[in-house]
Amino acid sequence: MTRIQRIFSPVLVTVMAFMITACGFQLRGTMNVASEIQKLSLQVSDRAFQRTLSESLKQAGITVTSNAPYQIHITSLEHEEATVTTSGGGIVTDYDVTGSLSWQLISNDGLILIPDTLLQQHGTYQRHNNQYNASQSEASDTWNEIQRNLAANLTRRVASLSQEELTALIEQAVKAREAAEAVALPASDQGQ
């Protein structure tokens, strides 16, 4: 190895690393988040998304069980497609896919700690009129990728809660419940 190669090798590696990170490249995989929430239960109507979310939580070190102190309640999971462009002959059409997920974090005694929160992910795919099966497969793959991203984002949000944040959320929910009960009590007295 020549002297010039020894000098420029580390520089080249460093430049390549900066270029890769500058373009937004990131590895997928397990999340190393120290979570205060060790156990969760799930209330999800879509079985495929429940499996995806359970796997994401498990990778983050959170156990999914029915007798957990907290529950993630998925209030809606929606899938929308919109035409972005169409080729001149109408043979190829680009679609934008939007996945919307609304969720809540609820304590085991029914306190809503995090009210309905919306997460969204976008993706695109092409539909070729003369390649129906391949186009359907690409549409399905795009939707599955969006669901994995929604599950990962939800997992990161829940797993990032610290004990202080959980305590504050619980105190806030208790105060909100007490205020609602205080308003409801005089109203029920007036009705009698």
SS3 state at 98: strand
Strongest mean pLDDT among 33-37, 125-129, 143-147: 143-147
Domain boundaries, the chain: 36-183
- Summarize pLDDT for 15-30 with one digit per residue, the tens: 777 777 776 655 555 4
Q: Indicate the pTM of the whole model.
A: 0.75
Q: What fold does the segment set 36-183 form as a domain?
A: Double Stranded RNA Binding Domain (3.30.160)
| Range in 29-38, 75-84, 98-107, 148-157 the model is least confident about | 29-38
Q: pLDDT tens for residues 128-169?
A: 777 777 778 888 999 999 999 999 999 999 999 988 998 999
DSSP 15-38: HHHHHHHHTT----S------S--
